[in-house]
């Protein structure tokens, strides 16, 4: 596995080794030994997956605040996504900055540390995204920031008029109004 820090160094892109033969491929997507080398959480406690029927579906920007903050390890099982991470850590040189990568079902995973908002836009119909978290879902700690926040100016690959989004995500607050509990 190749581990690459992104423009926000705590956010990591993990490239998995695929072993191909006439049947297809085999890939090891997670081992604790490689997680230790990469500095990932030792214990992921929850696996989740989402199916988005249409291209242009946005989910996010989501996070959980302390005491139930979560790190995530995200990968795509089918289709592709434009995956976005926003630094919410006060004092960080990249506070309020975002980084994005395109993930497909072949080879790459994104590690999203605690203290970051996460969201994605599907680039294909019937996209399935899977992720691990190092903490349990805690609705009382769940928060989010609007995907189209003007302060963040995220370069989403869709026009606002074509976006498919949940009512919950449509009503998320703005970055300028968010008082971050996260520290660098």
Supply the pTM of this predicted model. Answer: 0.95
Of the pLDDT bands very low, low, confident and very high (cuts 50, 70, 90), residue 29 is confident
Please state the rounded mean pLDDT for residues 23-38. Answer: 86
d(CA 31, CA 82): 25
Sorted by sequence, the CB contacts under 8 Å of residue 42 that are 6+ apart come out as 32, 35, 36
75 in helix, strand or coil?
strand
CATH number for the domain spanning 127: value is: 2.60.120.10
- The percentage of residues in the chain with a pLDDT greater than 70, rounded to a whole number, is 100
Domain membership of residue 184 (yes or no) is: no
Exposed (0-12), middle (13-18) or buried (19+): which is 176, by Cβ within 10 Å? exposed
Domain membership of residue 183 (yes or no) is: no
Residue (of 22, 8, 5, 21) closest to 115 by Cα position: 8
* Catalytic residue from among 42, 131, 136, 137: 131
pLDDT at 2 over 90: no
* Catalytic residue from among 18, 20, 62, 75: 62
Per the annotation, the verdict on 75 as an active-site residue is no
Domain membership of residue 48 (yes or no) is: yes
Residue (of 62, 84, 74, 134) closest to 105 by Cα position: 74
Boundaries of domain holding 15 = 2-177
Domain count, the chain: 1
d(CA 67, CA 116): 14
């Amino acid at each position: 596995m190749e581990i690459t820090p992104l423009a926000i160094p705590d956010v990591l892109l993990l490239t998995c080794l695929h072993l191909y033969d006439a049947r297809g491929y085999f890939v090891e997507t997670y081992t604790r030994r490689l997680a230790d080398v990469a500095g990932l959480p030792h214990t992921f406690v929850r696996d989740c997956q989402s199916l988005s029927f249409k291209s242009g579906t946005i989910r996010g920007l989501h996070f959980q605040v302390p005491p139930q903050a979560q790190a995530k390890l995200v990968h795509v099982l089918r289709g592709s996504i434009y995956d976005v991470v926003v630094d919410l850590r006060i004092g960080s040189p990249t506070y309020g900055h975002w980084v994005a990568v395109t993930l497909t079902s072949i080879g790459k995973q994104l590690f999203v540390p605690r203290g970051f908002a996460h969201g994605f836009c599907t680039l294909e119909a019937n996209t399935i995204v899977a992720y691990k978290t190092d903490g349990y879902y805690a609705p009382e700690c769940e928060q989010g920031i609007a995907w189209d926040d003007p302060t963040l100016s995220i370069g989403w690959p869709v026009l606002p008029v074509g976006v498919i989004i949940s009512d919950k995500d449509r009503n998320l607050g703005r970055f300028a109004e968010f008082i971050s509990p996260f520290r660098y």
